Structure 1
Amino acid sequence: MSEDYRRNNQSTFMVEQMVLIDIRKFLQSMHKDIKMYPLPDIDDTYDASLILSTRNDWVDMINMKMIGRFDGDEMVYHSFNCAVDDPHNYYPKEFLNTLTPNGLPPHVLKLKIGCPVILLRNIDPANGLCNGTRLIIRGFQKNAIDAEIMLGQHAGKWVFLPRIPLCPSDDEMFHFQSKRKQFPIWLSFAMTVNKAQGQTIPNVGVYLPEPVFSYGQLYVALSRATARSNIRILAVPAVEKDVNKGKKKNRSREWHMHTRASEAEAEARKALTLLACKLSDPPDDSWPC
């Protein structure tokens, strides 16, 4: 491992893991049997795992929590924003900085060495830099980011990511057109189910605070993993911001569940009664037939 890695990353364990992974990929590229070359245990958790959810706000929440717990020094990149055809400055930069349209990186991009990211634009499809490609951050420069492609045909290839001008894909979201110059990446500890279509991920976690809202969404999430044993699902009710509203909603939910349980119990008793009446020959006086 080069000295640049050790200067940019203070975590000795992560540096060792990077070296071991690079050695393993090099051996695999030479079609060598990995079992013939005893290597220490390699932690592939950040390299082969992904959390899937259905909404962007849940994905952003998970990504921000994960990057906060990730080891290493944080690097912050700010974007340059402007409105198209705005000579009177109706939309100042301070306002544009607060917006994060779909498909664009945030104004404040926080990254760390070794964290996984996803590419948001097609930069060089011939070399594996396509929209949706997952990469690992390897180094920081002033106007470029060193990264390594994580999965796919070009796995292990090192690339340089520049700042590029980006425009929102959905023009109907705002009544004006804007442009943002930023690195076309975003954290990918977690990803939306729609964004993960077509990818194969060894270990998948599915986070569902609420049921899926689109047909086939659950199938897409579960079919990303390579085996059924590599899937974990967490389905919990969303946390309510207002405590009082949350209590009312929980009470209402409990009442509905109790009512449905009572109705189901009544139907079950009725079905058992009719079955007992048919089986009893002659019917007993205790059965209301």
Structure 2
Amino acid sequence: MNMRPTEIEFTALLVYLMGKTPGYTDIVQESIFGQEERYIADIVATRVRNLQRTRLLIECKSSRFVSFDRINDVVSQLKKYKEAYGECQPVFAIPATLSESEAQALKVEGVELWDLDFLAKTFAKQLEDAPIGYFKNILLMRARRGSATTRASELSASLKACQPGKQDWSIYQSLVGNILEYLFCPTLTKPLSEHADGTKTNRRDFIIPNYAESGFWSFLRNRYMADYLVVDAKNYSRKIRKTEILQVANYLKPQGAGLVGLIFSRNGGDAAGCAHTLREQWLIHEKMILVFNDMEVESMLSAKEDGRVPEEMVEKKIEQFRLSI
């Protein structure tokens, strides 16, 4: 698997950009503070604006999260930092686009968000002379894109317009196919729609051939027997349950499509039957079935639009699932 850029690299770039920007002084990377409990902040700096000096305490993350709970972890951490540090403005810096709910959660708690848009706009001039690297490219891409409409934003708008329930089920199914093709092709082969097995008893919405020769998808094929990805789109207004998991599991066979299934459900899966069945299918049959809700789909679309790899969400889903067992 390819090595991904680290948070240390992003933090170092942000320190460089702030150092070249008027209005930021006393910039310290990896600042240790606290009396009874000791903490280390990614960046501590002073912002001078209209003769007012504000001490900034900045927490950096290099990528998005797999669940909304992680934003609450960031808020909790910054609260502890502020209590130990004293008067300061907590800042969360991330070279990505957060969802509206994530941004609102930070705002409510008084945390200033430096997301992809903010970073690209605020440090546009300084980026031109910054050291060459992954995060510089991400920020420059966003700065140069401006307000142009992207394929990701079009798909995101269509997803929001599609109503959960029977009436729009065919629209949602088609939309999921378009989203998958946009996110993962041509690394993966174009999805094959409404594919049934030989007995015609098990029909799935999409089958995605996985012929990747390197990277994450190659790893997934070799480790989890993902020769093909079996995909089901559930436009339910409710969370999916045990029954929907078993429908996909019945299609997964070692000598057939393989053992990896993806279910796209508007509201994800329930915490009882769905979660238990996912664990059971993995522990007993080694079938890896992942469920993605609308927020996670939006995250992948944002990642693609931002110039990052959307399959990072799939990686994190597997990581979270495996470590929960």
State the TM bucket, normalised to the shorter chain.
Answer: under 0.3
Specify the structure having the higher radius of gyration (Cα): 1
TM-score between the two structures when normalised by the length of structure 1: 0.27
Q: Flag the structure with higher helix content.
A: 2
* Higher RCO, Cα 8 Å, sep 6+: 1
TM-score between the two structures when normalised by the length of structure 2: 0.24
